[in-house]
Structure 1
Amino acid sequence: MQVINTAAKLKVGVFFGGKSIEREVSLNSGRTICDHLDTDKYEVIPLFQDEDGTLYNLPWHFLHRGKIADFQSRLAKEAQKITWDDLRTLVDFVYLAVHGRFAEDGTIQGMLEILNIPYLGSKIFGSALGMNKLVQKEIFSANGIDVAAGITIHKSEIDSLNVNDILLRLEKAGTRLPCIVKPIHEGSSLGVSKVLTEDELIPAIKKAAYVDARRTQDVIIEEKIEGMEFVCVSLQRAVKKNGKTEAEWFTFPITEVVPEGQSIYDYEQKYMPGRATKITPARCSDQDLQKISQICMKASILLNFATISRIDGFLTKDGRVILIDPNTLTGMSPATFLFHQAAEYGMSHTQLINYLIETELKLAGMLEFTGGHSDDDEGDSVETNKHGEKKLRVAVLLGGATNEREISLESGRNICYKLSPQKYDCIPLFVNDLHELYKLDQRLLIKNSTREISNMLDKAQKVSWSALSDICDFVFIGLHGGLGEGGGVQGALEMLGLPYNGSGVLASALCMDKFKTNNFLRAHGFDVPDSFLIPLQAWQEKSIEARNEYIDSNLKDYHYPLILKPHDDGCSVFVKKVKNRGELIGLVDQYFAQSGKSIAMLEELIIGTELTCGVIGNDENVRALVPSNTVAKNDILSIEEKFLPGEGENQTPANLSVNILEFVKNIMVEAYKAVGCAGYSRIDCFYQDENQSKTGKPRVVILEFNTLPGMTPATCIFHQAAECGMRPMDFIDKIIELGFANHAEKLNAKHVKDTKQKDQIPELVLEPVVLGVLDSGSAAVSVKQDDQSTALEYSQEKQHRKKSKSGKTVNFDSAEQSDLPQSQDIDDKITMNLF
């Protein structure tokens, strides 16, 4: 391999996806690496491998999808199909962000060696060892490293298992129930079970053996170890000794893992926001930490690992270190162990990625030494960009006091990572349960849960609300629910004279209450579900018989099933489908007991195509993004489907005709204006065709507004913006620009002029021009946004006229200005009888 030319950008292919069952985890890893690669040094080339092995140069607008299925059907038409041999000219280096079979087992490493392309991580032999748990245990045992006692069930035995025989084999191996059952060749804790009883044993073995439906595999049954579970990430550094380049191992601070309750550290505990607790450094003696480090580095050497290693294990009460799972390529999602532990060293994501690539190139003899590696202190603030222009200081609020605090942490952290370091000086501010502010450093920002951050706030700098205007020019609210989304924070910031993202006090407060929002929208001619509120006090005062009478009298016009949910919460928290009256009584009792809420909301169940649609803009310059179809496995979209990698599915654009999509978008824009939103929002709704609609005509039923929608790495509003040509960083830029513009007159914001930077996306200018009439009888309209045009279709028929309570006729389908109230006169339209 030749020495690279450091004057030119290195073409880094980020390889993700893959053929294993861990491909969804890999999508998260690949997205993170693409987001954080240093574009001053590297040209980023996303390389996606589909499940069938086909390679693509992935278009960036697919990069922030939540699930591979969200874009898989479009790859053939929209992605550039490539071959392995194309990589020779396409990339200089491959950053492997794949996991599991065909990724960490020597196969892809063998291909890249044949192509003579340098890549990240262990080479062929080390990778092959790294995926075989049985051989690993044999090597460790032979070299004095403790492993879990257990047995192996060969795949040929799976269909003839006998519980008593297995228990006898376990006893001979020195263990018994409870035990841990896991597949021999998989990672990410897929197929892993904790077995407590004999009845659970055979199902757990079959689950592990068949976890990859395409093949049967051997299964390992091991003792359940009691002690402190840990994760140790080790890296190599390239050093010069006697003129030769050598590799030396060192470890990051070790992390203690504490799963929720009695859970094991399974897939959901690993990847669902806020579940397992990660404590770094681990809570044990310095002597034990040193012992763990030494054993993990020894294990990495024995397995021929290179550049990076992650080893999981236990420290038992009697001081033994037992290794359970070595990994050649650790997960690389934003808050994974790799970045979590690197943050303890003060290394940002970008600095760590640079270090790994440079180390690999030095060890391969492709990069000259320049006096060693040096990382800038993450705490140091660079106040001007490379052009000498002053950066905008943006405070990002995250955390909060609601049930959505963990999602807020993910959203706020992602905003911090996506804010361009050339334009902005980012100030992460954690909001605790008392709404106090704390400035977070890189080490605290990357913690896995708000619980962990809250326990370490004594190490953070407290910031008073009054001091915000001294430390920042703009506040990006990454909070969800409660005072953060319901007008409280918005009011405080306006009192301080600080511009912020999203809607103002009134629209925020209105949209935080689903019941009030529904009544307001209904009064202005929009279709919404019928709904009814049950106060806790009134409910508790009634006997069982009185509750039945109360339900019957108030819900006489409703039909089961119904939806039970909070009127002021999000993220699918405490949402249930109620099948009948008998079930309703018990579920309402359960709701009040578990939620801590004082009001329950019952809502008509809407049947149709469930959609969510982002809307962006201020005043009259408003644009709806492309609606997404949210696909729920069961009746209600779960929080896991929203945020657990690989669970939820969002089809963007929704699988509806262009006419229908534009019909939906037009209503979204009008509803956004009617409520008085600003900046951006995401509106959840259903589209019903004439057979589903109780009016007998197609309609859009609006469920709720999200005035501060989730901004997690793969959130659907990023998918929708990408379909309109905006990358996440561009979209966030636009939100900040709109925030400044929205508050310019009201707050006399001194930094408004600073937002008009040359590299920001252009203003949205919508100028409808009728092009002709389509076969459907609709008018085709071109909407200009600078040099781009988007075809819109507005129905010429007055399909959706209704009388509002004010007596006005509202036509949602006209391309002309409607009679809906605009943001400036909403105050005059709201009357208490609506609520």
Structure 2
Amino acid sequence: MSKISIGIIYGGKSTEHEISMRSAESVLTVLDKKRYDINLIYITKSGEWLLTKAEDLFNWKEKSAEKVRIVSPGRIEGTDINKQLDVVIPILHGTMGEDGTVQGLLELAEVPYVGCNVRSSAICMDKDITKKLLKSEGIDVAKSVVFKYNEKNKANFNKTKEKLSLPMFVKPVNQGSSVGVSKVTDEKSFYNAIDEAFKYDTKVMVESAINGREIEVAILGNMDPFVSLPGEIISNTEFYSYESKYIDEKGASLEIPAKLNSFQVTALQEVALKTFKILDCEGLGRVDMFLTDDNEIFVNEVNTFPGFTNISMYPKLLEVSGIEYSSLIERLIELALQTHKLKTDLRKSLIK
């Protein structure tokens, strides 16, 4: 039996470059080398695509790595390589990877890929569009105000405070992992936060704070998705910042599964699944929510390719729900192949 040829794309032109590398390392560890022919494709921070070896995952600069590209129909091409891919796992987090850009390239290259399609990837990366769509379908989200770069001078503290009240959070609209996010408690911190957020995006959101527990639910599947038990993030800092997630070991702890009653579990799972379907997601996604003391549920955001190390929230939620990490990777590959077949079978021309 011939091996399935897999392309693992990792790294990327994103502030979450290092997180992607950790996720790729974890996936590489559990993939069955006897079943899969694994091709590691590293995107440098400057945008070069390099074909690397497993032992060079973190040391590509010290080794010889060939520049490559993916072309239709699903091939890796370089000076000395021309190889067919059966499926791609784009383990990329944040902009220029999780936002539909790479997904669009893979669609043009006619290769199956793991995760959400171009449309849902782009929508979920844009927190402003996400909130508008969810709100229109009856899903509760935090009140917010958005400023584009050319409207930066319209970001007025008093007017914004009147609409949202204190405290507020300021964040880049198209970023993940709490990059560029600041908590605002007064006028000075408001303008500092606006400046900080505009370093990472041309569109900035100011959001009212929700006083509630931070709950996350993992979803796996296409037409009939599996919904995990909820998990809770218990932050030991002012909020779940980038430092709390990846740098400060004592910044936060994960409670998996979360301590909830059956009513709360069911309600959170229902909102997560409805959100996943409204945003046209497929394959995988993690829905992040707030649960208030009055059992109100507010959706914060949806991650279409969440952190994927073996200790990340997404795989841990599925593991506690009965799906092991290695089985999860296998399932995601199957889902990618199913989706691609459905698209391939669609008519491409009006001429019979």
Say whether residues 1:209 and 2:198 are aligned partners: yes
Q: How does 1:267-278 map to 2 (within 5 A)?
A: 267-272=242-247, 273-278=249-254
**Contact 2:276/2:285 (CA < 8 Å) preserved in 1?**
yes
* RMSD of equivalent CA atoms: 1.8
Match for residue 174 of structure 2? 185
Per-residue Cα deviation, 1:508-540 (whole angstroms, up to 9, x for no partner): xxxxxxxxxxxxxxxxxxxxxxxxxxxxxxxxx
Match for residue 339 of structure 1? 315
Counterpart Cα distance in 2 of 1:170 and 1:147: 18
Per-residue Cα deviation, 1:212-252 (whole angstroms, up to 9, x for no partner): xxxx4211111111111111111116xxxxxxxxx202211
Per-residue Cα deviation, 1:311-357 (whole angstroms, up to 9, x for no partner): 11101112211011111111112210122112213433212111111
Say whether residues 1:81 and 2:75 are aligned partners: no
Counterpart Cα distance in 1 of 2:250 and 2:224: 35
Q: CA deviation at 1:259?
A: 0.5
Match for residue 147 of structure 1? 141
Q: CA deviation at 1:145?
A: 0.3
Match for residue 120 of structure 1? 114
Counterpart Cα distance in 2 of 1:209 and 1:183: 7
SS of 1:61's partner is: helix
Task: Give the unaligned 5+ runs of structure 1.
Answer: 1-6, 66-70, 238-246, 367-835
Q: CA deviation at 1:72?
A: 6.0
Say whether residues 1:361 and 2:342 are aligned partners: no
SS of 2:224's partner is: strand
Match for residue 218 of structure 1? 203
Which AA in structure 2 matches 1:267?
Y
**Contact 2:157/2:191 (CA < 8 Å) preserved in 1?**
no
SS of 2:166's partner is: coil
* Cα distance change of structure 1 residues 319 and 297 upon mapping to structure 2, 3 Å threshold: same
Q: Which one of the candidate residues 24, 28, 47 is aligned to 2:18?
A: 24
SS of 1:16's partner is: strand
Match for residue 279 of structure 1? 255
Which AA in structure 1 matches 2:65?
A
Counterpart Cα distance in 1 of 2:340 and 2:61: 39
**Contact 2:114/2:335 (CA < 8 Å) preserved in 1?**
no
SS of 1:84's partner is: strand
SS of 1:312's partner is: strand
Q: CA deviation at 1:307?
A: 0.8
Match for residue 299 of structure 1? 275
**Contact 1:12/1:91 (CA < 8 Å) preserved in 2?**
yes
Match for residue 240 of structure 2? 265
* Cα distance change of structure 1 residues 196 and 226 upon mapping to structure 2, 3 Å threshold: same
**Contact 2:93/2:176 (CA < 8 Å) preserved in 1?**
yes
Match for residue 40 of structure 1? 34
Counterpart Cα distance in 2 of 1:250 and 1:59: 34
Per-residue Cα deviation, 1:779-820 (whole angstroms, up to 9, x for no partner): xxxxxxxxxxxxxxxxxxxxxxxxxxxxxxxxxxxxxxxxxx
Q: CA deviation at 1:21?
A: 1.6
**Contact 1:151/1:170 (CA < 8 Å) preserved in 2?**
no
Counterpart Cα distance in 1 of 2:61 and 2:114: 30
Q: How does 1:320-335 map to 2 (within 5 A)?
A: 320-335=296-311
* Cα distance change of structure 1 residues 218 and 268 upon mapping to structure 2, 3 Å threshold: same
* Cα distance change of structure 1 residues 360 and 18 upon mapping to structure 2, 3 Å threshold: same
Counterpart Cα distance in 1 of 2:182 and 2:295: 26
SS of 1:100's partner is: coil
Counterpart Cα distance in 1 of 2:158 and 2:176: 25
Q: How does 1:155-554 map to 2 (within 5 A)?
A: 155-158=149-152, 160=153, 165-172=156-163, 175-211=164-200, 216-236=201-221, 247-260=223-236, 262-272=237-247, 273-365=249-341
Counterpart Cα distance in 2 of 1:161 and 1:58: 47
Counterpart Cα distance in 1 of 2:268 and 2:113: 28
Q: CA deviation at 1:59?
A: 2.8
Counterpart Cα distance in 2 of 1:177 and 1:185: 23
Counterpart Cα distance in 2 of 1:334 and 1:141: 33
SS of 1:111's partner is: helix
Q: Which one of the candidate residues 100, 111, 117 is aligned to 2:105?
A: 111
Counterpart Cα distance in 2 of 1:153 and 1:275: 30
Per-residue Cα deviation, 1:101-159 (whole angstroms, up to 9, x for no partner): 1212221111111111000011111111111110111001100000001211221133x
Q: How does 1:569-608 map to 2 (within 5 A)?
A: none
Q: CA deviation at 1:73?
A: 4.3
Counterpart Cα distance in 2 of 1:38 and 1:150: 46
**Contact 1:190/1:266 (CA < 8 Å) preserved in 2?**
yes
Q: Which has the higher contact order (CA 8 A, sep 6+)?
A: 2
Which AA in structure 2 matches 1:177?
L
Counterpart Cα distance in 1 of 2:258 and 2:297: 14
Match for residue 804 of structure 1? none
Aligned residues: 333
Q: CA deviation at 1:52?
A: 2.5
Q: How does 1:409-808 map to 2 (within 5 A)?
A: none
**Contact 1:34/1:46 (CA < 8 Å) preserved in 2?**
no
**Contact 1:182/1:193 (CA < 8 Å) preserved in 2?**
yes
Match for residue 521 of structure 1? none
**Contact 2:157/2:187 (CA < 8 Å) preserved in 1?**
no
Counterpart Cα distance in 2 of 1:123 and 1:357: 14
Match for residue 345 of structure 2? none
Match for residue 80 of structure 2? none
Identical positions, percent: 29
Counterpart Cα distance in 2 of 1:301 and 1:103: 21
Match for residue 643 of structure 1? none
